[in-house]
Structure 1
Amino acid sequence: MTSKVICIVLGGGQGSRLSPLTATRSKPAVPIAGKYRLVDIPISNCLHSGITRIYVLTQFNSASLNKHIKNTYHFSSFSEAFVDILAAEQTPTSGSWYQGTADAVRQSLHHLAVHEFDYVLILSGDQLYQMDFEQMIENHIKADAEISIATIPVHANDVPGFGILKTDADNLVTAFVEKPKTNFENWASEVSDEMASQGRYYLASMGIYIFNRSVLYTLLQGNERTDFGKEIIPQSIDSHKVLSYQYEGYWTDIGTIPSFFDANLGLTDDIPQFNLFDKNYIFTRARMLPPSKMSGTHVDKGIIADGCIINASHITRSIIGIRTRIGFDTTIENCYVMGSDNYQTLEQIEESKVANTPIMGIGDRCTIKNAIIDKNTYIGNDVQINCGEKLEDGDYGTHTVQDGIVVIKKRAIIPHGTII
């Protein structure tokens, strides 16, 4: 059945909630887990499900995403498989940027028209989960549905942050409300015994949809509705057969700095909720990097990516990304260090030492806690980050603070002895 499916991954808007990580890159291109990009998650789920025709829609800072897609997803010349970028473009029928999720798909329909397909799978580019879409598609076809929505049971405390669906005994959606704040007790739906035992009675939309081709074209053409969650889905419930597909695995929206931080550090748990070591592994760019080298370092709950040179004293509950260099007697605790895009030469390192300026990476005798270190940063010796009282939220030039998490910006230079 997956041969009849084409997929659209929505790259999201400006990604302001993930700023400053999205200052120079689109949201799907943000590095995750030390060696992947966010866009690798939905694409990997598709490929493991047998879906091999994928468009990624984006409009902000798309250069690095284009480069990643081009260098990563290669298929046989004899295959119809592809992963292509569709950036917002001006055409005779549209001269504006994407105005929402539905508008982005509407403006891209002419690209889909050259392919044969019966179903369109629409995904978000900023979620962490592992799902077999083939099962969802089979369920959609078996129920003779026109639209399917992936839903996840949530607790009452989580309801105000989601679009909530009400279903009947056949899992057909009978009502929809967007992020209700009060009086939602009557919105509980039928869930499994396991979900009920956890108090998760409310079905939240995951932003994952399947549309029959003809239905999608009918709903999008000839109107100005711009968003699936706020307009298309709620207004289709009475006129179309809309099915809920309940998913009970791990899923999280990582559209904010705190959720992004928690999702990454959660990967260091002994048995993480999102399993990087599953048979359905994540596809990403194949880099020809050397193995990582560590000397005198005690690591407790750490993930170390390829090509690192580490002399730190302690690394605790942290992810260390590709090509990271960490100096002697340095302590890293509860951090995501994204790494570097290249190595400095020995000559460049020596020049920096003579000039008494930081080298790329993290210097000697540093203590860094509860921080995200973006790529290609230069952190000097004897630097302390987030080691004292809780910092005030704000932008401080080389770094920002959100909910107590310090984010060192890409290519920032932090001089020797700095205390943040």
Structure 2
Amino acid sequence: MTSKVISIVLGGGQGSRLSPLTATRSKPAVPIGGKYRLVDIPISNCLHSDITRIYVLTQFNSASLNKHIKNTYHFSSFSSAFVDILAAEQTPSSVAWYQGTADAVRQSLHHLAVHEFEYVLILSGDQLYQMDFQDMINNHIETNAEISIATIPVHANDVPGFGILKTDSNNMITSFIEKPKKDFESWASEVSDEMKAEGRVYLASMGIYVFNRKLLYELLMGNDRTDFGKEIIPDSIAHHRVASYQYEGYWTDIGTIPSFFEANLGLTDDIPKFNLFDSQPIFTRARMLPPSKVSGSHLEKTIIADGCIINASHISRSIIGIRTRIGIDTVIENCYVMGSDNYQTLEQIRESNLSNSPIMGIGDRCCIKNAIIDKNTYIGDDVKINCGNKKLEDGDYGTYTVQDGIVVIKKRAIIPHGTVI
């Protein structure tokens, strides 16, 4: 049945909530887990579900995403499989950029028209989860639905952050309310006994949809509705068969710096909610990097990607990304260090040492806590980041930002020797 499915991954807008990580890249291209990109999550879920025709829609800072897709997803020339980028483009019928999720799909329909398909699977590019979409497609067909929405049971405390759906005894969605702040007790739905025991009785939309091809065209063409969650879905519930597909596994929207930070550090748990060591791997770019080299370091709950040279004294609950260099006597706690896109040559390192300027990576005798270090940064010796008892004020400080106590060192930033943040 998956041969009748085409998937669309929505790359999102400007990604301001993930700034400064999205200053030079689109949201789907943000590195995660030390070696992956956010876009690898929905694409891997598709490929493991035998959905092999995938479009990724984007319009902001798409160069690095284009490069990643081009270097990662290769299929046999005898196969119909593809992962293609559809960047916003001006056409005779539309000169505007994407105005929302539905508008992005509307402007891309002419690209889909050359393929044979019956169902369109629409996904978000900024979520962390593992799902078998075959089950969702089968449920869609068995219930004779025209639209299916993946839903996840949430606790009352989480309700104000989601669109909440109410279902009947057949798991058909009967009503929708957007991010209710109070008086939502009557919106509880039927869930499993396990979810009831956890107090998770409200069904939140996960932003994952299956549409019948014919209905999708009807809903999008000849009108100016721009968003699925705010317009298309609520308007469709009264007029079409809209099914809920309940998912009870791990899922998180990582569209903000705090949620992105916690999702990454959560990967270091003894038994993480999102398991990188699953039998179904996350697909990403295959890099020919040397194994990592660690000297004299105490590592605790730490993930280290390929190609690193680590001489730190202590690293705990942290992710160390590809090609990271860390100097002697350095302490790193609760950090995501994204790594580097290349190595400095020995000649470049000598020149930096002669000019007393930092080399790429993290220097000697540093202390870094509760921080995200973006790619290709130069952090000098004796640098202290978030190591004091004083709570840092939120704001943008040039080479770094602070959000909810998390310091984000910007991509390619140079932090001089002895700096205290």
The aligned residue for residue 410 of structure 1 is 411
The aligned residue for residue 390 of structure 1 is 391
The aligned residue for residue 67 of structure 1 is 67
The aligned residue for residue 236 of structure 1 is 236
How far apart, in 2, do the equivalents of 1:192 and 1:328 lie? 52
The aligned residue for residue 401 of structure 1 is 402
Q: Which TM-score applies when normalising by structure 1? A: 1.00
Alignment of 1:99-248 (within 5 A): 99-248=99-248
How far apart, in 1, do the equivalents of 2:87 and 2:184 lie? 39
- What is the RMSD computed on CA atoms of the aligned residues? 0.3
SS at match of 2:268: coil
SS at match of 2:54: strand
Tell me the CA shift for residue 280 of structure 1.
1.3
Query: What's the CA shift string for 1:319-340, capped at 9, x where partnerless?
Result: 0000000000000000000000
How far apart, in 1, do the equivalents of 2:229 and 2:60 lie? 21
The one-letter code sitting in structure 1 at the alignment partner of 2:291 is P
Query: What's the CA shift string for 1:202-228, capped at 9, x where partnerless?
Result: 000000000000010000001000000
The one-letter code sitting in structure 2 at the alignment partner of 1:390 is K
The aligned residue for residue 80 of structure 1 is 80
Structure 1: tracts of 5 or more residues without a match:
none
SS at match of 1:211: strand
Query: What's the CA shift string for 1:361-405, capped at 9, x where partnerless?
Result: 000000000000000000000000001111000000000000000
Query: Stretches of 4+ moved more than 3 A in 1?
Result: none
How far apart, in 2, do the equivalents of 1:225 and 1:279 lie? 41
The aligned residue for residue 345 of structure 2 is 345
The one-letter code sitting in structure 1 at the alignment partner of 2:201 is Y
How far apart, in 2, do the equivalents of 1:234 and 1:192 lie? 25
How far apart, in 1, do the equivalents of 2:127 and 2:146 lie? 24
The aligned residue for residue 275 of structure 1 is 275
The aligned residue for residue 357 of structure 1 is 357
The aligned residue for residue 256 of structure 2 is 256
Tell me the CA shift for residue 182 of structure 1.
1.1
Tell me the CA shift for residue 183 of structure 1.
1.0
Query: What's the CA shift string for 1:166-217, capped at 9, x where partnerless?
Result: 0000000000011111111100000000000000000000000000000100
Alignment of 1:11-90 (within 5 A): 11-90=11-90
The one-letter code sitting in structure 2 at the alignment partner of 1:359 is I
Structure 2: tracts of 5 or more residues without a match:
none
The one-letter code sitting in structure 2 at the alignment partner of 1:349 is I
Are residue 370 (structure 1) and residue 389 (structure 2) matched?
A: no
SS at match of 1:201: strand
SS at match of 1:99: coil
The aligned residue for residue 304 of structure 1 is 304
The one-letter code sitting in structure 2 at the alignment partner of 1:184 is F
How far apart, in 1, do the equivalents of 2:81 and 2:135 lie? 20
SS at match of 1:240: coil
How far apart, in 1, do the equivalents of 2:280 and 2:100 lie? 31
How far apart, in 2, do the equivalents of 1:175 and 1:89 lie? 35
Tell me the CA shift for residue 272 of structure 1.
0.0
Q: How many residues align?
A: 420
How far apart, in 1, do the equivalents of 2:3 and 2:296 lie? 52
How far apart, in 2, do the equivalents of 1:281 and 1:190 lie? 33
The one-letter code sitting in structure 2 at the alignment partner of 1:25 is R
Q: Percent identity?
A: 85
Query: What's the CA shift string for 1:282-319, capped at 9, x where partnerless?
Result: 00000000000000000000000000000000000000
The one-letter code sitting in structure 2 at the alignment partner of 1:214 is K
